[in-house]
Amino acid sequence: MNDNELFRQQMQDVKRFKVTPKVALKSQRATDDALRQRRAAAQAITEQDTNFLSADYIHPVAPLDVLEFRRHGVQHGVYKNLRLGKYSIDARLDLHRLTVEQARAALFQFVRDCLEHDIRCALITHGKGEGREQPALLKSCVASWLPCIDEVLAFHSAQKHHGASGATYLLLKKSKKKSHENWEHHAKRR
C-alpha cells in the first residue's frame, strides 16, 4: 500500500464542516471602472515625485564646518584630489535664495542631469548661512541629502577660490559607458 492509498483509507470517515457566513461579503470582482480608477491613481502617485530626499530631519551644521563624505571603496588619492579641487568642474548648481523644498528638488534633478550627461565632478554652492536666524540651513540639507544618493561617491567642502565652506565639490559614479571606455583605454596600454 502506497502513501496515497493509506492517506485515503485514514481519511474516509472525515466529513466537511458546514460554515455559515457571519458577514455578507460583496463580490470580490472589481468593476472595469474601479480598475481604471485604481490604475490611474497608482500612475499618478509614481509620476508625482520620485525624489526620495527627505527634509523631515536635517542634522544641523555650523556655518564654517567642513563637509566631507567618502563611500567605502573610493581611493584615498581620488578623494584627496577632490578635496584639493584638482578635478575640473563640469557642472555647477547654485542654491542661494531657494527654499528647502526648492533646493531639495533642484539638487535631486541636478544629480540626475549630471548622471545623464556623464558628468563626474560638480560644484554645489549653498552658502554658509552666517548672520541668519537659522544658520547654515541649506548647507545642512546638502550634507544630509548627498549621502542618501547612491550615485554620489564623495563630497567635500570647496577650496577658497570656489567658495570655501559655502560650496561643496561633488564626485559622482561613472556611467557604465564611461567605465567601459576607461577599461578599454587601460586594456590597450598593456
Domains and CATH numbers, the chain: 68-181 (3.30.1370.110)
DSSP per residue, the chain: --HHHHHHHHHTT--PPP---SSPPPPSPPPHHHHHHHHHHHHHHHHH-------S------TTPPPEEE-TT--HHHHHHHHTT-S---EEEE-TT--HHHHHHHHHHHHHHHHHTT--EEEEE----TTSSSTTHHHHHHHHHGGGSTTEEEEEEPPGGGTGGGEEEEEEPPPHHHHHHHHHHHHHT-
Asked if pLDDT for residue 152 goes beyond 80, the answer is: yes
**Using one digit for the tens of pLDDT, what is the confidence trace for 127-147?**
887 777 666 788 999 999 999
Residue with cell 570655501: 164
Q: pLDDT-derived band of residue 185, with 50, 70 and 90 as boundaries? A: confident
Which cell is 104 given? 531639495
Which cell is 132 given? 541668519
**Residue 45 confidence (pLDDT):** 56
**Using one digit for the tens of pLDDT, what is the confidence trace for 2-40?**
888 888 888 888 887 777 767 665 655 556 777 777 777
Can you tell me the distance from the alpha carbon of 32 to that of 94, in angstroms, rounded to the nearest whole number? 48
**Residue 189 confidence (pLDDT):** 64
**Using one digit for the tens of pLDDT, what is the confidence trace for 59-105?**
888 889 999 999 999 999 999 999 999 999 999 999 988 888 899 88
Query: Please, are residues 154 and 83 in contact by the beta-carbon 8 Å criterion?
Result: no
Stretch 46-58: mean pLDDT: 62
Q: What is the CA radius of gyration of the chain?
A: 28
Q: pLDDT-derived band of residue 49, with 50, 70 and 90 as boundaries? A: low
